[in-house]
Chains A and B, each alone.
Chain A
Amino acid sequence: MSRELTYAEAVREAMDIAMERDPRVFLFGEDVGVYGGAFGVSDGLFQKYGPERVRDTPISEAVIAGVATGAAMTGMRPIAEIQFMDFITLSMEQLVLQAAKLRFMLGGKVEVPFVLRTPAGAGTGAAAQHSESLENWFVHVPGIKVVMPSSPADAKGLLLGAIEDPNPVIFVEHKLLYRTKGPVPEGYTPLPLSKSEVKREGTDLTIVATSLMVMRALEAAEILAEEGISVEVVDPRTLKPLDEGPIVQSVVKTGRVLIVHEAVRTGGYGGELAAVIAESEAFDYLDAPIKRLAGLDIPVPYNRDLERQMVPQVDNIVTTARKLVREGR
């Protein structure tokens, strides 16, 4: 059975179910308690589980990451929230030098099973320090998993999967997706991590997109279908470790690929995806260069029009995709 939930409700339901099932699971972070989280994601959980398991912290991002690590190593299953992904910069040492490496450095003798949830993305007028998409920083760190759900169903299933995973998982939510609705299965329905999914089938072009850009790619695919262009949309869902298969197979089928993400282009995840495709058997099937559409290489601007201009929009995807199919570049 499924019903329509918003993405935020789906995240909340996953946490609720996980906490109900497993006394080791608890949520903590800035304003996650009575306030319900800066985006209302944990609304009601404090009332249900109380201050011990839904725990407000001071504004101390380093120790938030440290608490997740230390508690995870000693038998708990923490869910930490970093209020805006931008603030994760203040947690970097504990995440990158401790949580990610501990298992390896200690010869495989510990597990560090926590989930760090954090909202990323522009589009809220919050300017350069509250709009970042920093997922690729973590993709570059062995020992950490990176998950970026694009729909309410994936948000719930992947969060449950992430809580079950015995590794540190950075779970990147998108502020503009929080209010989007979609069917979400009821009950305990974890999805395995590291499974890319074809979100729409097509034959002329593959769009590999992440997070909010999956929704935009699907909208663009509708528009292009009216023009007779058949677009396949693939969502990696877990950026690290990546399930390459469905991406490579899709490009083998379509012969053209456009990669779309919101994070700035240089050093972004698109470069990794392009390399994966170029190194695979799909290379021999390419009829056009691998294209990337990504955030402009600038800090996120405040002005509404500039902010829109910085991040790929549906019309940008349509234009770029059309050109790639029609002109082969």
Chain B
Amino acid sequence: MTSHPSGPFAGLDPAQLEAMLHQMLLIRAFEETAEELYFQGMIHGTMHLSIGQEGSAVGSIAALRRDDYILSTHRGHGHCIAKGAQVGGMMAEFMGKETGYCRGRGGSMHMADVATGNLGANGIVAGGVPMAAGVGLSIQMQRQEKVILVFFGDGAANEGAFHESLNLASIWNLPVIYLCENNQYAMSMSVARSMNVDDVSARAASYNIPGVTVDGNDTIAVYAATLAAAERARSGGGPTLIEAKTYRYKGHSKSDKQRYRTKEEVQEWQEKDPIGRLSRQMIDAGLLTDADLTALEQRVADEIQEAIAYAQASPDPDPASIMEGVYA
């Protein structure tokens, strides 16, 4: 390892912190707008909102370089924004438009932006986890200094593919960061009911790789853990399993009646909100004023309005193009 970031902000400078806070606000606004548009009937299908999980998305990706890769999950809008996608293209994809990141073919669950190293969200739990080993091998064989960070949830840690991938990345010493966003529930099945370990990170021991658990709502802690893992991977130290404990405020998807948890539990987590926490930390340190925060919120609101306008003005895919993209 080349550096051990210290201090309350782990070596991040004020401009970086403001950029991170901006991304977190943008993610939340995007998600809230997505839900609103769904209720207005402007978006069909379903969606998995990441409200409450902005800390793990932004904290981890802030520790990556632009040419590093990510693979994401069904709850992936935040990862996409954090890696550098434009919300206009995302909104267009969400509305199924030709100008969307996937030309309207993928939608919410397959949002990708290959230009920023985002190889895509995934509709299959643990779907990206085996692929991450392949991306890691590709980086290693091409002697690149990149890393691949693969997001997955607590549910994915119970899929066989998760174990195959960690084992392979360990024996081949691949530059993979396994980032488990443990949001406490795999749809309705709680972590307490689905595994007999307290921490998903304990499973790293089976593969003799480092496993760390961080508070996923502490954006800076997620950043520091990811930075250490990335430096380790880049310098040939192999994979790391990071578990970011967090919480989704909304249901699993649009069909969720939330019978499996209490309002009090949701309330408790909302009091540990990652956006509230980072902005408070910055205000306390004199890096942000209330007026700055209001200005950021206004900027985000404008960006979302522009994104909606862009998406609405965009054309639908040409029906004559339906067969495109099946084969190269």
Which of B101, B102, B141 contacts A76 (CB under 8 A)? B141
**Could you say which residues of chain B place their CB within 8 Å of the CB of A73?**
119, 131, 134-135, 138
Which of A63, A72, A93, A113 contacts B168 (CB under 8 A)? A63
Q: How far is A103 from B325 in the complex, measured between Cα atoms in Å?
A: 6
Question: Which chain B residues (89-108) contact chain A, with CB distance < 8 Å?
Answer: 100-106
Which of A66, A78, A104, A113 contacts B105 (CB under 8 A)? A104
Q: How far is A98 from B71 in the complex, measured between Cα atoms in Å?
A: 12
The proximity string for A residues 79-116 relative to B, scoring 1 for CB distances below 8 Å and 0 otherwise, is: 00000000000000110011000111111111111000
Asked whether A250 is an interface residue with its Cβ less than 8 Å from the other chain, the reply is: no
Q: Looking at the assembled complex, report how far the CB atom of A242 sits from the nearest CB atom of chain B, in whole angstroms.
A: 13
- CB pair A62–B160 under 8 Å, yes or no, is yes
Residues A76 and B161 in contact in the complex (CB < 8 Å), given A66-B133, A104-B326, A107-B325: no
Q: How far is A104 from B105 in the complex, measured between Cα atoms in Å?
A: 7
The stretch of B17-25, B74-82, B122-130, B268-276 in contact with A is B122-130
**Could you say which residues of chain A place their CB within 8 Å of the CB of B136?**
70
**Could you say which residues of chain B place their CB within 8 Å of the CB of A187?**
none
Asked whether B242 is an interface residue with its Cβ less than 8 Å from the other chain, the reply is: no
- CB pair A103–B137 under 8 Å, yes or no, is no
Question: Which chain B residues (247-278) contact chain A, with CB distance < 8 Å?
Answer: none
Question: Which chain B residues (286-310) contact chain A, with CB distance < 8 Å?
Answer: none
- CB pair B127–A103 under 8 Å, yes or no, is no
Q: Looking at the assembled complex, report how far the CB atom of A177 sits from the nearest CB atom of chain B, in whole angstroms.
A: 27
Asked whether B120 is an interface residue with its Cβ less than 8 Å from the other chain, the reply is: yes
**Could you say which residues of chain A place their CB within 8 Å of the CB of B71?**
70
Asked whether A60 is an interface residue with its Cβ less than 8 Å from the other chain, the reply is: yes
Asked whether B13 is an interface residue with its Cβ less than 8 Å from the other chain, the reply is: no
Residues A70 and B134 in contact in the complex (CB < 8 Å), given A62-B164, A93-B124: yes
- CB pair B142–A76 under 8 Å, yes or no, is yes
Known: A78-B134, A109-B112. 10 other contacts (CB 8 A): A68-B134, A73-B131, A75-B138, A76-B137, A97-B123, A103-B325, A103-B327, A105-B120, A107-B105, A143-B327
Q: Report which B residues bind A (CB closer than 8 A).
A: 69, 71, 100-106, 110, 112, 114, 119-120, 122-124, 127, 129-139, 141-142, 148, 160-161, 164-165, 167-168, 171, 324-328
Q: Report which A residues bind B (CB closer than 8 A).
A: 26, 52, 57-58, 60, 62-63, 65-76, 78, 93-94, 97-98, 102-113, 142-143, 145, 166-167, 241
Name 14 interchain pairs, CB-CB below 8 A, sorted by A: A60-B167, A63-B161, A63-B167, A66-B131, A74-B119, A74-B134, A76-B138, A98-B122, A103-B327, A105-B110, A106-B110, A108-B103, A108-B324, A166-B328
